[in-house]
Amino acid sequence: LNTVFADDFEHFLIYLPKELVSGDFYWVAQVGPKGRPNDKLFIAVVDCTGHGVPGAFMSMIGLNLLDVIVRSGLTQPNLILNELHKQVRYLLKQENNDSRDGMDMALIRIKGDGRTIEFAGAKNPIVYITNNQCFTIKGDPVPIGGLQKEEKREFTLHTITIDSPTNFYLFSDGYIDQFGGPENLKFTSKRFREMLFENHNLPMVAQQEKLETALDEWIGSENN
């Protein structure tokens, strides 16, 4: 992961699976010669249904399909999610059964010069901070795969133009849904965004340390 974009982007990664194998995964892919105008960098954070082996099975499906879809020539995040949804439903034969297995996802494409970010989300959002302001773009309120009541499922493309230093955050619900604190409640997305904003001027490594420390303190030894 680091070698793909460490030369261009400061970053951090927190990956703390509940079990040895996980239903959450991250995916990074580069398309086109690095540094050329047609260079495209894709980053996704994905939360599959299930934990342990069932979740890991869905993760394998998601990872393989993302690679295949991008190699096929689809590059817009919303079109990638559209195709991924169709392929997951086809592979799991969900047209003919009651399977609700699927995945929530936040996917971005960083275009060659790094000044344009394209985002599409299946339930999962993106948070970004620029000019001392925090913004959230919600994903569409439907997952990849699973039950489809509507005739056709299509995801929305959001384009963000970068004209000043900007931090982007992709995440699953693993952090915000952790129980803890004095009343053993969920951490919540509001508290999470407040923490991101409070620490966004720190180096990325320091932000990672702050988030990990806060999570440990929130969960507490009695919930470990």
Tell whether pTM > 0.85.
yes
End-to-end CA distance of the chain: 28
Per-residue burial over 25-45, b if 16 or more Cβ lie within 10 Å, else e, is bebebeeeeeeeeebbbbbbb
- pLDDT, tens digit (0-9, with 9 covering 90-100), for 96-153: 888 888 999 999 999 877 789 999 999 999 999 999 999 999 999 999 999 898 989 9
Residue length of the chain: 224
Residues 145, 103 contacting (CB under 8 angstroms): yes
At 159, which helix (H) or strand (E)? strand 158-161
- pLDDT, tens digit (0-9, with 9 covering 90-100), for 173-206: 989 999 999 999 999 999 999 999 999 999 999 9
Residues 89, 100 contacting (CB under 8 angstroms): no
Ramachandran category for residue 143: left, alpha or beta (phi over 0 → left; psi -120 to 50 → alpha): beta
Whole-number Å distance between alpha carbons of 34 and 45: 22
Per-residue burial over 128-149, b if 16 or more Cβ lie within 10 Å, else e, is bbbeeeeeeeebbebbbbbebe
pLDDT band at 39 (very low <50, low <70, confident <90, very high): low
* Phi, psi for residue 27 in degrees, rounded to 5: -140, 135
